């Protein structure tokens, strides 16, 4: 089959690799001059990434052993393995795999809309449009997904966070991520300091409004001077976002497959790409087969709704319950990519977590 993939990020690259490997004719269109630039990501992967079995050497920057959670009234320390990657090399790893399997890659090629049965691709250097007529179109074109919009199924109630981060220098515990919660620090999410090494880190945060204000405040409080700044939109999972319309499919940020609690989209997006490729190759129904990832996205969304309404006192209570009831151990046994066992075991150990359900309504 002739398949066009709009957006050569990691999710488009991985889907392209799997489909080309299965014998399909794949073309990747990327509107930037190169793959993996500009970077708009902290590059944290949970240990669930190991399940894909990919070699890490070409893009691994650091390995994290501990996550510290700071709230206005307390601190929690959790042993938690995470990988920190260089996003440019990470994206190139997947796209090169696709090209090695025979996929064609066109950079400086932007999807601009539909034309009858075809799609319009603009060569942004020569300012020339061409119409191509693939049998299948896959939109892996990020949070604002021009593909979903052109095919008329970008859900109107989708919401984005706006993330800002800087590369900073200082003295850091090299294998510890620090996260900062609280309505004065970062309403609705948390701020982070993610070390690349003992002298360099990625510091940032994401909110739905006024990200720049909170980011500037966070930088000032930590006496950080930005070496380089990156920013970008991150979608919140929307359960009603359709994943397929006719011969057009969505995956990754385009489909809002991002964990709403942490805004991590890499592992769920790669899982989604795997399921999508399998559905296309074997003729299965994507919307049905995606349930295993969808239910995790759903649970993250419910937890996010609760966290979003927590006040400073609630954060103190949460930390207290987690520490007193031994839930820290549960957090250490499972990755956040797999939230169901965490929530079930936490509720069995500490039923008072149920009190937070009031924030769902």
Ligand X SMILES: Cc1cc2nc3c(=O)[nH]c(=O)nc-3n(C[C@H](O)[C@H](O)[C@H](O)COP(=O)(O)OP(=O)(O)OC[C@H]3O[C@@H](n4cnc5c(N)ncnc54)[C@H](O)[C@@H]3O)c2cc1C
201 neighbors 43 (Cβ within 8 angstroms): no
Q: Based on CB atoms, which residue is closest to ligand X, 218 or 353?
A: 218
What is the nearest approach in angstroms of ligand X to the Cβ of residue 334? 17
Helix residue ranges per DSSP H, the chain: 10-21, 87-100, 146-150, 211-221, 266-282, 286-289, 291-309, 312-324, 327-333, 339-349
A 10 A CB-CB count for 186 gives 22
Q: Binding to ligand X by residue 62, rule CB under 6 A?
A: no
The secondary element (H helix, E strand) that includes residue 337 is none
- C-alpha span between 181 and 205 (Å, rounded): 10
**Smallest distance from the beta carbon of 125 to ligand X, in angstroms?**
14
Helices (H) and strands (E) in the chain, counts: 10, 17
**Phi and psi torsions of 229, nearest 5°:** -115, 140
Cβ proximity to ligand X, 337 vs 350, nearer residue: 337
Question: Does residue 115 contact residue 131 with C-beta atoms inside 8 Å?
Answer: yes
Q: Least distance to ligand X from the beta carbon of 89, Å?
A: 14
Q: Does 154 bind ligand X (CB under 6 A)?
A: no
Single out the residue of 110, 207, 211, 256 in contact with ligand X (rule: CB under 6 A): 110
Q: Does 339 bind ligand X (CB under 6 A)?
A: no
- Tokens coding 174: 């090299």
Q: Can you tell me which of 166, 186, 191, 234 binds ligand X, judged by CB under 6 A?
A: 234
CB of 243 to ligand X, least distance (A): 13
**Which residues, numbered 13-52, are part of the site for ligand X (CB under 6 A)?**
29-32, 40-44
| DSSP 8-state code for residue 81 | E
Is 222 one of the binding residues for ligand X (CB under 6 A)?
no
User: Taking CB under 6 A as the criterion, which residues in 180-219 touch ligand X?
Assistant: 204
Q: Which residue in the set 3, 4, 5, 7 belongs to the binding site for ligand X (CB under 6 A)? A: 7
The answer to the question of residue 256 lying near ligand X (CB under 6 A) is no
Residues interacting with ligand X, by CB under 6 A? 6-12, 29-32, 40-44, 110-111, 140-142, 146, 163, 165, 204, 232, 234, 252-254, 258, 263-266, 269
């Amino acid at each position: 089959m002739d398949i066009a993939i709009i957006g050569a990020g990691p999710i488009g690259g991985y889907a392209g690799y799997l489909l080309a490997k299965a014998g399909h004719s794949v073309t990747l269109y990327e509107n930037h001059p190169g793959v993996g630039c500009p970077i708009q990501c902290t590059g944290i992967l949970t240990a669930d990434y190991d399940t894909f079995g990919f070699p890490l050497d070409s893009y691994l920057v650091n390995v994290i052993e501990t996550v510290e959670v700071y709230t206005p009234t307390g601190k929690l320390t959790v042993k938690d393995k995470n990988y920190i990657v260089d996003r440019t090399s990470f994206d190139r790893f997947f796209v090169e795999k696709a090209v090695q399997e025979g996929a064609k890659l066109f950079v400086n090629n932007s999807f601009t809309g539909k034309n009858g049965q075809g799609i319009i691709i603009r060569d942004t250097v020569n300012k020339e449009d061409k119409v191509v007529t693939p049998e299948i179109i896959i939109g892996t074109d990020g949070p604002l997904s021009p593909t979903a919009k052109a095919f008329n199924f970008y859900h109107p109630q989708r919401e984005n966070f706006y993330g800002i981060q800087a590369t900073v220098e200082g003295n850091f515990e090299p294998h510890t991520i620090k996260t900062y919660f609280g309505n004065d620090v970062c309403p609705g999410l948390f701020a982070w300091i993610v070390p690349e090494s003992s002298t360099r880190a990625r510091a940032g945060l994401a909110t739905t409004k006024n990200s720049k204000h909170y980011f500037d405040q966070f930088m000032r409080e930590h006496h950080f001077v930005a070496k380089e700044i990156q920013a970008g939109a991150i979608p919140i999972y929307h359960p009603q976002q359709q994943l397929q319309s006719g011969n057009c499919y969505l995956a990754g940020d385009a489909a809002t497959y991002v964990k709403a609690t942490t805004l991590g989209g890499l592992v769920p997006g790669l899982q989604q790409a795997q399921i999508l490729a399998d559905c296309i190759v074997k003729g299965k129904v994507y919307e049905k087969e995606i349930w295993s990832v969808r239910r995790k996205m759903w649970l993250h969304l419910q937890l996010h709704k609760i966290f979003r309404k927590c006040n400073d006192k609630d954060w103190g209570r949460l930390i207290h319950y987690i520490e007193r009831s031994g839930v820290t151990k549960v957090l250490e046994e499972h990755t956040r990519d797999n939230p169901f066992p965490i929530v079930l075991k936490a509720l069995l150990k500490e039923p008072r977590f149920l009190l937070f359900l009031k924030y769902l309504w």
